[in-house]
Amino acid sequence: MEKDGITNVLLSGVGGQGILTASRLLAMAALHRGFDVKMSEVHGMSQRGGNVDTHVRIGEAVPSPMIPKGGAHFLVSFEKLEALRYLDYLRPDGVAFVNRLEISPLTLALKQPNYVDDVDRILDEKAPHLIWVDGTEMARELGDVRMVNVIMLGALATRLPFLEEADWEAAVKERFAKPKVREAVANAFRKGAEVCPGR
Amino acid sequence: MKQMMLGNEAVARGAFEGGVAFGSGYPGTPSTEILEYLAPYENVVVQWAPNEKVGLEVAMGASLAGVRALVTMKHVGLNVAADPFFSASYMGVNGGLVVVSADDPAMHSSQNEQDNRWLAKAAKVVMVEPSDAEEARWMTREAFALSEQFDTPVLFRMTTRVCHQTAVVNLEDPLEAPARGYKKDIPKYVLLPGHGRLRRHEVEKRLLAAAAFGNESDRWNPVFEGSADVGIITSGVSFSYVRETMPEASILKLGLTNPLPFERIKRFAETVKKVIVVEELDPYLEEQVRAAGVDATGQSLRPYFGELNLPLLEEALLGEARNKVTVSLADVEIPRRPPTLCPGCGHRPVFKVLRDMRIHVMGDIGCYTLGALKPLGAMESCLCMGGSVGMAEGLERFGGPDLEGRVVGVIGDSTFFHSGIAGLVDMVMNGSKATVLILDNATTAMTGAQPNPGSGVDIRGAPAPRLDPADVCRGVGVKRVVVVEPYDMENLEEVFAEELAAPEVSVVIVRAPCVLNEGVTFAEPVELDLELCNQCGLCIRVGCMAIREKDGYPEILADLCNGCGVCVQVCSEGALTIPEKVGA
């Protein structure tokens, strides 16, 4: 982290993908390391199948809970369209982690496709630095598709050198009570980290 | 001890630390989680009220009994509670009373973005505004004492970005707040005109005393000394944007925003060359600061509505945003992803039938308001909590022959208990012929399944008396009350037609549990035989997330489909079927 700087992580996806849990884990890990953290989340109307975004800001002192457009160091997107929608939040050196998953918004009529054609190419072209994550596929292999959020977090963690393994362990321990769940989460986290070797 | 907390959770924590004995309110984004986080604290009585007005009235009774009380609601909820709120200002309190109003700038989950700071000024009560989660905690903790000190309800005004931010909070041990005991005081508590006129003086004295307190309080209204070039006056979440945009500026941060501490404001203004007021929504601070004779700018620098944010403030104060947007999305059309009814939701067949019958629907507030969106498009108005009933009566009566027998009010069970009942009484007493549909899922679904009078459980999940909306309707004099389930759409249409034709008030209670909150699964996912599909698109037009278009044909998403069978009923070709249950 830059001295006196704030690291901005924007997480986006569709309601029900576990984005809030991933954001909380990140925030708790940062608090464990002694950072100030502010996070802004979405509740209410927007959760009924709508798009969801959470802003997580980590630093020595963080005044406001919202990331400005053009100010995100990282974009962690659980769905392709929701990566594209928030791409303009990235800084020129910002990194996008995108889960290879397409969830169509509600189709309104049969002859009216409701997705962006060629979304992979557009993302590759527009994102300054993009890392594809087969998160949903990997979660299926682990036997629990809900783990995609932890896999994405594991991938992100490789680029957050200011957080140590102990911080993540503490966050997982605080968030999940059952030893079996903790173990599954730790396993998914490691899988996610393997996406981005060379930490 | 430090802990990550949601702003709303921090209010609950602050209330606990402040010795609160009672919490009430009605769910409404962004306020809902406050009471839910208060409920686990032992020794605090926490309960949902049928509406905000009742919640405040019970809290006033608790206050008179001498205990500290908290009432929570969203901004429009305070409109419902405005009657007791304005007069509670005259009555004053015994135990401290804090009323949370959670405003929703930019209308993330609301029908308007009214700025409730005006209501504190109009009601002449003390107002507190936290700017982050930690302030939400300590300001709640100390607001009860302010309430007792100035003998006033305190309006605790939050906004979405304070309610729904998660941040580091410093926990403290609870304060001692012994119950003060009930003291009968007829001139204070009975607001007859003669008493009210005397209390009116007390209200003005309170405002003077509270302003004097605010003028001297470094804790509530701190000054951040900085450059003498610019002095910024701000409050609430706007403070955090100011701090980040201009860390070098002098800032007067107001935690007490009614009555305003004008002496402090003037003293601050004298130390700087230029005064700028930074706030969200209305120029509430700016107008008063200028009226007090301070030369200040503010709203001319920012948008008149919506939320403030860093780039907007940087443009206003620095001339341009610090972060340049380098990724352009101008050349790509990104489909919106609006909220929709869940797969299997019992509201969907209701709106599908109403749309096909071309019925004019006066709607209400809840998940079912989504019935107004395409492709259902089956709702023609949504005004306020409970408004569907009265509006249906008025539209039916004055809509002429085209609308006669063709108007329904559609309201959810929680909204019906909240404020639909009085509308139904109006229909009965005035001989309306309109029809009301109560979509009864026995919960308050949109805000996250809070129990209501029809749920049979309380906020802690313990068994509670259950009111049946059908009994309530009969009890207020409705003779035609029919209860149906929604998934047989042929039957639904027959029932609607019969009740619409009836020359008197009728109520159809459409009963189905909330699929999301109850985890309802009807059957195996629907199967599609593409050879039989004639691409008519009717199944797409029921508006379900589990059916999408693929290469000109529908596609069933088995992960999402729970086999409710609504799409199967609209298919004339038999292409959609519910698979036989194996071993059933």
Whether residue A43 is predicted with pLDDT greater than 80 in this model: the reply is no
Identify the band that residue B519 occupies on the pLDDT scale cut at 50, 70 and 90.
confident
Identify the band that residue B584 occupies on the pLDDT scale cut at 50, 70 and 90.
very low
Q: What is the pLDDT of residue B338?
A: 86
Which residues on A lie below 8 Å from B165 (Cβ)?
A: 38-41, 65
Q: What is the DSSP letter of A31?
A: H
Length of chain A: 199
Whether residue B309 is predicted with pLDDT greater than 50 in this model: the reply is yes
In this structure, the answer to whether residues B163 and B209 fall within a common structural domain is yes
- 3-state SS class at B59: helix
Give the residue on B whose Cα is nearest the Cα of A26. B4
Mutation target to probe the A interface, by most A beta carbons within 10 A, among B325, B370, B539 is: B325
Give the residue on B whose Cα is nearest the Cα of A65. B165
Q: What is the pLDDT of residue A3?
A: 46
A170 interface with B at CB cutoff 8 Å? no
Tell me the CATH architecture of domain A6-101+119-194.
Answer: 3-Layer(aba) Sandwich (3.40)
In this structure, the answer to whether residues B418 and B449 fall within a common structural domain is yes
Q: For residue B328, is it within any domain?
A: no
In this structure, the answer to whether residues B160 and B265 fall within a common structural domain is no
Contact assessment for residue A75 and residue B314, using Cβ atoms and an 8 Å cutoff:
no
In this structure, the answer to whether residues B304 and B390 fall within a common structural domain is no
Q: For residue B540, is it within any domain?
A: yes
Across the interface, do A48 and B161 touch by the CB < 8 Å criterion?
Answer: no
Which residues on A lie below 8 Å from B541 (Cβ)?
A: 109
Question: Which tens digits make up the pLDDT trace of A57-111?
Answer: 999 999 999 999 999 999 999 999 999 999 999 999 999 999 999 998 988 887 7
In this structure, the answer to whether residues B68 and B178 fall within a common structural domain is yes
ipTM over 0.90: yes
Q: Which two tokens stand for residue B426?
A: 């109006």
Question: Which tens digits make up the pLDDT trace of B2-57?
Answer: 999 999 999 999 999 999 999 999 999 999 999 999 999 999 999 999 999 999 99
Contact assessment for residue A199 and residue A158, using Cβ atoms and an 8 Å cutoff:
yes
Q: What is the pLDDT of residue A47?
A: 63
Across the interface, do A43 and B448 touch by the CB < 8 Å criterion?
Answer: yes
In this structure, the answer to whether residues B410 and B310 fall within a common structural domain is no
Identify the band that residue B186 occupies on the pLDDT scale cut at 50, 70 and 90.
very high
Boundary of a domain, candidates B499, B518, B537: B518
Q: Spell out a b/e string for A76-103, using b for 16 or more CB atoms within 10 Å of the CB, else e.
A: bbbbbbbbbbbbbbbbeebbbbbbebeb
A66 interface with B at CB cutoff 8 Å? yes
Contact assessment for residue B372 and residue B378, using Cβ atoms and an 8 Å cutoff:
yes
Domain boundaries, chain A: 6-101+119-194
Q: How far apart are CA B193 and CA B576, in angstroms?
A: 69
Q: What is the pLDDT of residue B581?
A: 59
Would you report the helix, strand and coil content of chain A in percent, each value rounded to 5? 40, 20, 35
Phi, psi of B189 (to 5 degrees): -105, -10
Question: Which tens digits make up the pLDDT trace of B118-132?
Answer: 999 999 999 999 999
> B559 is in which domain, residue-wise?
527-577
In this structure, the answer to whether residues B182 and B235 fall within a common structural domain is no
User: Nearest by CB to B447, which of A27, A44, A70?
Assistant: A44
Question: Which tens digits make up the pLDDT trace of A10-39?
Answer: 999 998 899 999 999 999 999 999 999 999
CA A121 to chain centre: 21
Query: What CATH number is given to the structural domain containing B531?
Result: 3.30.70.20
B573 interface with A at CB cutoff 8 Å? no
**pLDDT > 90 in chain B, percent:** 96
Q: What is the pLDDT of residue A44?
A: 63
Across the interface, do B2 and A104 touch by the CB < 8 Å criterion?
Answer: no
Give the residue on A whose Cα is nearest the Cα of B74. A44
Whether residue B355 is predicted with pLDDT greater than 50 in this model: the reply is yes
Q: What is the pLDDT of residue A16?
A: 85
- Are β-strands B249-254 and B223-224 bridged in parallel, bridged antiparallel, or unpaired? antiparallel
Question: Which tens digits make up the pLDDT trace of A134-183?
Answer: 999 999 999 999 999 999 999 999 999 999 999 999 999 999 999 999 99
Residue B419 neighbours by CB under 8 Å, 6+ apart: B51, B80, B385, B386
A88 interface with B at CB cutoff 8 Å? yes
In this structure, the answer to whether residues B76 and B137 fall within a common structural domain is yes
Contact assessment for residue B155 and residue B97, using Cβ atoms and an 8 Å cutoff:
no
Q: What is the mean pLDDT of residues B236-244?
A: 97
* B 244-283 residues with CB < 8 A to A: 244
Which residues on A lie below 8 Å from B562 (Cβ)?
A: none
Identify the band that residue A45 occupies on the pLDDT scale cut at 50, 70 and 90.
low
Whether residue B155 is predicted with pLDDT greater than 50 in this model: the reply is yes
Give, to the nearest 10 degrees, the angle between helix A165-175 and helix A19-32: 130
Whether residue A199 is predicted with pLDDT greater than 60 in this model: the reply is no
**pLDDT > 70 in chain A, percent:** 94
Across the interface, do A50 and B342 touch by the CB < 8 Å criterion?
Answer: no
CA B439 to chain centre: 20
In this structure, the answer to whether residues B234 and B202 fall within a common structural domain is no
Whether residue B583 is predicted with pLDDT greater than 50 in this model: the reply is no
Across the interface, do B237 and A64 touch by the CB < 8 Å criterion?
Answer: yes
Q: What is the pLDDT of residue B429?
A: 98
DSSP for B69-100, written as a single string: EEEEEEHHHHHHTHHHHHHHHHH--SS-EEEE
In this structure, the answer to whether residues B381 and B498 fall within a common structural domain is yes
DSSP for B538-580, written as a single string: TTGGG--TTEEEETTEEEE-TTT-----HHHHH-SSS-EEPPP
Query: What CATH number is given to the structural domain containing B228?
Result: 3.40.50.920
In this structure, the answer to whether residues B62 and B181 fall within a common structural domain is yes
Identify the band that residue B582 occupies on the pLDDT scale cut at 50, 70 and 90.
low
* A 112-131 residues with CB < 8 A to B: 112-116, 122, 126-128
In this structure, the answer to whether residues B18 and B140 fall within a common structural domain is yes
Question: Which tens digits make up the pLDDT trace of B501-515?
Answer: 999 999 999 999 999
Query: What CATH number is given to the structural domain containing B510?
Result: 3.40.50.970
